[in-house]
Amino acid sequence: MTYKNLFVYICALTLLIFNSQLFSVDRTMGVIKNSKTGYEGYTLFNPSSTGDTYLIDNYGRIVHQWESFHSPNLSVYLLENGNLMRTFSTIRREDLDYGVEILTWDGEVIWSFVYTTADYYPHHDIEPLPNGNILMIVRDIRTNTAMEDAGRDPASMSTARIWIEKIVEIEPIGLNTGNVVWEWEIYDHLIQDFDPAKDNYGVVEDHLELMDVNFTPTILREWLHANGLDYNSELDQIILNLRNIGEFWVIDHSTTTIEAAGHAGGNSGKGGDILYRWGNPQTYRAQNNNEQKFFEQHDARWVENGLPGEGNITVYNNGTIRPEGMYSTIDEIIVPVDINGNYTAPALGDSYLPIEQTWIYTDKYPENLFSPHISVAHRLPNGNTMICQGDDAHFYQVQSDKTVVWEYISPIEVAGPGTQGGIPNSRTSFRCHRHGIDYPAFAGRDLIPKGYIERNPITVESTQHSPVKPTELDEVVITSKIFDDTGISSVLLNVYYDVDPLVISMKDDGLGYDTTAGDSIYTALVPALPGYGQVNYYISILDGSAEMFNDPPFGSQNYTFHYDLISTTPINISISKNSDSTLIEWDPVEGVSNYKVYSSSDPYSGFDEDLTGLFNGESWSTSIDDTKKFYYVKAVK
């Protein structure tokens, strides 16, 4: 293409991508954003509407999948040996059975354990332990009489049975049995100042290690609503997250079951009492700094050792009843604990430290990040934080500066996988977890991508330009890896300098700058553009079903591809002639000691480097050539 053609398009240095009048499919599911600064690995998630569990790569492609006949009971874990541990529920006559199952990498069920009676059943979360045992949150169903015996005001209970919480540790045995080897019940750690005749009568604000049985004015059925567990093997402690009261607790796991029912024993010497609590100081009637911080939160967990912020605790703060409005945040706190697992107790009337969170992530537009229930967040080795906005199965990875570097929307709906470009509908996921590529479960496994979950996917990977920082003398190669189940009909590179685009066909034919035919890497060449600055571009893809997709999608701020053409033209250039020579002089360019001179008889036909002259610092001279009437000088960095 001649420069005359290019000048038709170029009227300004910097222009933004304009709105296309072409029909195009915006990306509404699958990978929305995939930045190079995202943590590389595989994401595990279990959609709430199916028994299937998916493992996807950074591009949203399935690398492995497990199937189960049982509906999920929310949580799922990939163990280091490659086995999958998941909670489940299954219909038993008119009731449900709840339990845990373990599947091999190949999907064989090697253990399936039901733990359900009329008085208890597991729910929400489990936690695999290093010894192979499993912690489970169990709904402990108590009668009104039992709650009255613990000092609960009878007038505050509107149902015959009340759900409270306990934790059990199960040792898997054989194919479908298990032993309860440890147990902790909140019923053993209650205090009240309502009924002096009860044994646990006392001053609530003096006993932060106990839970006020009359906190919350009424109970419809579920009092605390535990929804998350975490285990710290170095401290041998457990976090239990409690949604309905806006706080999490830390308890001692080093106790025996008998000690866990009392107030002495274990590493802490405090038995099963609460060692530390945070999120809502009003639960223990703190007078100072008693502002509630959590609002129906989920997934309190420690930042693992070796990761940025190790030892801190992160929480998905759903924000459902947040006074200033309903939006979610990811909150991180620095815990006041020593190396022995002892927590700094507050002075009488004060709340547990810290007073404030050390880091809070919220969206630029807060309401964009909101899930009224479920959801999780966890820290990654590179310092990013992985987020599952569970109510619409929207997964994010954000940097510490709150930049979103990876984004994915699960395509799984109640009716099955959705279609790319369609309106998302009825999709939820309790959690997602990003495992690094070096996670032991992946050693020796087949992780070859096996397609996408969504129907009619058009997927673009690794759109880039080379050189990364070209001068206006460089040709720029644009490459993009593009996949589609229906095939690719055409790929166009739309380059913008002015109102009208420069449209270049991208090829995967092995010719020119395209190194290999048929490898799904499409290539186009943008000519050198002397004297011009920023250039913007996007890619239009027409698939085999005649649908068009733009990358980045119009209306999206997630992808912005551009490159800068760095001007290196000296200033104050002068040209003079005498009887037999032409002399060009210019001001020096800072940091540059080398220059090139280009000449042409017709600037619209292009310029060529002129090698006939001699340089002397910031000047150049050559013998007169009447065919050359146009010159320009470039600094060479």
Sign of CA dihedral 287, 292, 298, 302: negative
Count of CB atoms within 10 A of residue 420's CB?
24
pLDDT recorded at residue 555: 38
Mean pLDDT along residues 211-230: 92
Cβ burial of 50 (10 Å; 0-12, 13-18, 19+) is: middle
CA-to-CA dists, residue 465 to 40, 299, 537, 561, angstroms: 21, 41, 11, 9
Distances 556 to 19, 35, 41, 268, 349 between C-alpha atoms, Å: 11, 14, 25, 52, 50
Cβ(117)–Cβ(110) below 8 Å: no
- 3-class secondary structure per residue, 510-564: CCCCCCCCCCCEEEEEECCCCCCCCEEEEEEEEECCCCEEEECCCCCCCCCCEEC
Task: Over range 144-170, report the average pLDDT.
Answer: 95
User: What is the structure's pLDDT at 577?
Assistant: 85
Q: What residue has token string 């072409």?
A: 22
Residue 603's identity, in one-letter code, is P
Task: Compute the C-alpha angle 188/192/195, nearest 5°.
Answer: 115
Q: Which long-range contacts (CB under 8 A, 24 or more apart) does 337-340 make?
A: 337/235, 337/276, 337/311, 340/267
Q: How many whole angstroms separate alpha carbon 313 and alpha carbon 301?
A: 5
- Lowest-confidence pick of 84-98, 223-237, 317-331: 84-98
Q: Which amino acid is at 251?
A: I
User: Which range is least confidently modeled, 136-145, 319-328, 373-382, 496-505?
Assistant: 496-505
Residue among 499, 407, 118, 433 at smallest CA distance from 299: 433
3-state SS, residue 259 = helix
Residue range 492-498: mean pLDDT, rounded? 77
Map residue 78 onto helix, strand or coil: strand
Q: When comparing pLDDT for 80 and 527, which is higher?
A: 80
Residue by residue, DSSP assigns 411-466 as -EETTEE-BTTSPP-S--EEEEEEEETT-GGGTT-------BSSBS-EEEEEEEEE
Strand ranges across the sheet with 630-636:
608-609, 594-600, 630-636
pLDDT range class, residue 372, cuts 50, 70, 90: very high
The DSSP line for 89-152 is EEEETTEEEEEEEEE-TT--EEEEEE---SSEEEEEEEEE-TTS-EEEEEEEEEEHHHHHHTT-
Of the candidates 445, 456, 407, the residue with the CA atom closest to the CA atom of residue 43: 407
Q: CA nearest 408: which of 10, 42, 37? A: 42
DSSP state string for 32-67:
EEE-TTSPPEEEEEEETT-S-EEEE-TTSBEEEEE-
Q: What is the pTM of this model?
A: 0.74
- How large a percentage of the chain has pLDDT more than 90? 60
Integer-rounded Cα radius of gyration of the chain: 32
Other CB atoms closer than 10 Å to residue 526's CB: what's the count?
Answer: 22
**Res 623: pLDDT:** 87
pLDDT above 50 for 565: no
Average pLDDT over residues 25-32: 78
Decide if 213 contacts 150 (C-beta within 8 A): yes
Asked if residue 635 has pLDDT above 60, the reply is: yes
Mean pLDDT score, 592-621: 83
The 8-class DSSP code of residue 221 comes to S
- Cis ω for the linkage preceding 570 (within 30 of 0): no
Quote the tokens at residue 478: 């644009």
Residue with tokens 């866990």: 260
**CB burial of residue 506 (10 Å; 0-12, 13-18, 19+):** buried
Hey, what are 366's tokens?
């807060």
Q: Which value, to the nearest 10 degrees, does the dihedral of the CA atoms of residues 207, 211, 214, 219 take? A: 170
| CA dist., res. 192 & res. 214, Å (int) | 7
The answer for residues whose C-beta is within 8 angstroms of residue 343's C-beta and 6 or more apart is 250, 275, 276, 335, 336, 337, 352
Is residue 55 packed enough to be buried (19+ CB in 10 Å), middle (13-18) or exposed (0-12)? buried
> Are 245 and 254 contacting, i.e. CB atoms less than 8 angstroms apart?
no
- Predicted local distance difference test score (pLDDT) of residue 40: 92
Residue 280 one-letter amino acid? N
Q: Where are the alpha helices (DSSP H) in 202-353?
A: 257-260
Paired tokens of 493: 């590179």
Q: Where are the beta strands (DSSP E) in 198-279?
A: 211-212, 226-232, 237-242, 247-252, 276-278
| Whether the predicted pLDDT of 344 surpasses 90 | yes
Per-residue pLDDT band at 472 (split at 50, 70, 90): low
Instruction: Give the pLDDT confidence of 278-320 residue by residue, as tens digits.
Output: 999 999 999 999 999 999 999 999 999 999 999 999 999 999 9
- Rounded average pLDDT over 93-120: 91
Q: Is 28 left (phi over 0), alpha (psi -120 to 50) or beta?
A: alpha
* 190 CB-near residues (< 8 Å, 6+ apart): 150, 151, 200, 210, 211, 212, 213
How many angstroms separate the CA atoms of 306 and 300, rounded?
Answer: 18
* Predicted local confidence at residue 214, as pLDDT: 96
Which helix or strand (DSSP H or E) is residue 9 part of?
Answer: helix 3-9
Between CA 393 and CA 432 the distance in angstroms is 9
What are 388-397's pLDDT values in tens digits? 999 999 999 9
Say yes or no to pLDDT of 47 above 60: yes
| Range with the poorest average pLDDT among 134-138, 541-545, 563-567 | 563-567
Per-residue pLDDT at 533: 59
pLDDT tops 80 at residue 28: yes
Sequential DSSP letters for 553-613: PTT--S---EE--B----SS-EEEE-SSEEEEE-PPPTT--EEEEEEES-GGG--EE--SS
